[in-house]
Amino acid sequence: MSQVLTHDLVIFGAGLAGLRAAIEASRQTQGKLNIAVVTKNQMMRAHSVAAEGGTAAVMRTEDGDSLELHAWDTVKGSDFLADQDVVDLFVNSMPTEILQLDHWGIPWTRREDGRIAQRPFGGHTYPRAVLAADKTGFFEMQTLYDTLVKYNNTTHYNEYFVTSILVSDNQFRGLAAINMTTGEFTLIRGKAMIICTGGGGTLYGFTTYSQTVTGDGMALAYRAGLPLEDMEFLQFHPTGLVPSGILITEACRGEGGYLINAKGDRFMDKYAPQKMELAPRDLISRSEMTEIEEGRGYKGPGGLDYIHLDLRHLGADRINEALPLIREVCMEFNDLDPINEPIPCRPVAHYSMGGVETDITGATRIKGIWAAGEAACVSLHGANRLGSNSTGECLVYGKITGTEAAKYCQGLSAPPALAKELFEEEEKRIFGTMLAMNGSENLYDLRKELRATMDQYVGVYRTGEELGKALDIIKSLKKRFAHITIQDKSRAYNTNLVHALELQNLIDLAEVTVTGALTRTESRGGHARRDYPVRDDEKWLKHTMAFHTPQGPKLDYKPVVINKWKPVERKY
């Protein structure tokens, strides 16, 4: 029960980066390249639609903004772990991407004079987050999708769950996937692939991510032999709605919202007096946790103590115009109207700064594989991402990898040969070994335990002792996973099997994340160690690389590209 599909370029993932890559590869080849876009959801359900607040770009310089300032803000925000050549390429590319989306028909919010509107975001010197109300990711996705369907050279494979990246002799050979609707095991062959599968934030229970975002591309790349870079740096967004974790966009603070503790104080004046609520996310998340731990938070359900995000002073007109989705979410999920009541929030797992290691063009160490967007670590964000730089990275690196992979494909007459045994072994692993699993462990209990462990021990603040406990639990979960039961033995729409494969991916990513965090004995950006509270440039101004071995991750390091700014103390 297997089918073979053959294309030139395979795009694995269909969020902002994947759609932008597919469009660019089509444009570069005048629609002659045969492209597959493979996604485990329906395309427009990619998590990119949940991006809310904006996309950063320098669109005008008359107020003193500049490309150099955007680059500096990004490097400083990264706690000096970003590769500065990558940052330069990014900030220089962004204005064109905004105008390109404009030409493709996105409904950007406009100023009264008709120019594209921008709002302030944390860590940025100037208001440079271009916006479409507070539904920016949704409108960007819609615009890219509408543009892509104009090309008839692209085949969309919705609801195909990829189980393995097939590689031999360090060259991409294809993807093994389950066609969810039929249960057929499918080989998708191609000359090249771009991994655009997003982050791994559902490692945590309290998270802004859709439950489908399980780090599949990162985990499969890792097992295929690619190193994962800087995985210990996971961003906590300061404002996750309590108790659901739904993202309450930074645009709320960009529009002038206040963070208030249980005593009624705007507490950010103690931590970032110059920037207040518009400090970078790592700093605000730590400040909130300090307020909560020192007893100045509100008691929340299930230990989710919180502070308040107050928008009331903005008034109904401003909230309805600039933050309509946030009002809708608060009313729908918490039965509160932010026009009249403050919003209960706390730091929430939000974004993977790390990912599949790539060079400045998005190319990986395996011939024929590129990676873009959150799944990749081209090292634009370093140890802490500035808000509104992520959607921009998807656009820029979607375009770059689409261009590079298209050129590469044009240089090959056919996809490289694949040994039949590689695919047959994978089919046997999935539909022979895994589907037959009938042990004593419940995979949903294991998943719950994994997320509770990450929430408890690998949060905003960390210690060596807590990280050690987390690693022991993760290793135990890895062993227990071998004894799970898969109750559904059918093939079509077997979500039970898919959840097992997703859990396997998450366990691998958790082990990499915690191993890197335990080893990195400093505090930098999103990685804050209570037992090593100071940034240590002498020892740790370097990128962590995790390579897969049967025993677990093997760590190595590589230097940060510093070609303009030497590290200095971060003050806001």
Which active-site residues does the annotation give? Answer: 237, 253
Burial classification of residue 328, based on how many CB atoms lie within 10 Å of its CB (0-12 exposed, 13-18 middle, 19 or more buried):
exposed
Q: What share of the chain is helix, strand, coil (3-state, %, to 5)?
A: 40, 20, 40
**Residues contacting residue 64 through CB under 8 Å, at least 6 positions apart:** 126
Closest to 254 (Cα-Cα) out of 133, 75, 94, 98: 133
The alpha carbon of residue 515 and the mean position of all alpha carbons in its chain are separated, in whole angstroms, by 20
Continuous H helices in 339-419: 390-410
Continuous H helices in 353-419: 390-410
Q: Residue 67 has which token pair?
A: 């490309």
* C-beta separation of 446 from 439 below 8 A: no
Closest to 57 (Cα-Cα) out of 109, 144, 117: 117
Q: How far apart are CA 226 and CA 496, in angstroms?
A: 28
Pairing of strands 376-377, 528-529: unpaired
Q: Residue 424 has which token pair?
A: 């047959």
Residue with tokens 């993760």: 474
Collapsed DSSP state (helix, strand, coil) of residue 242: coil
C-beta neighbour count of 367 within 10 angstroms: 14
Crossing angle of helices 495-519 and 216-223, in 10° steps, is 70
Q: How far apart are CA 382 and CA 360, in angstroms?
A: 14
Closest to 342 (Cα-Cα) out of 256, 259, 266, 279: 259
* C-beta separation of 193 from 10 below 8 A: yes
Closest to 2 (Cα-Cα) out of 498, 486, 428: 428
Helices (H) and strands (E) in the chain, counts: 15, 23
Q: How far apart are CA 465 and CA 457, in angstroms?
A: 9
Rounded (5°) CA angle 430-431-434: 55
* C-beta separation of 192 from 405 below 8 A: yes
Residue type for 528, please? A
Closest to 346 (Cα-Cα) out of 279, 299, 276: 299
Phi, psi of 268 (to 5 degrees): -65, -15
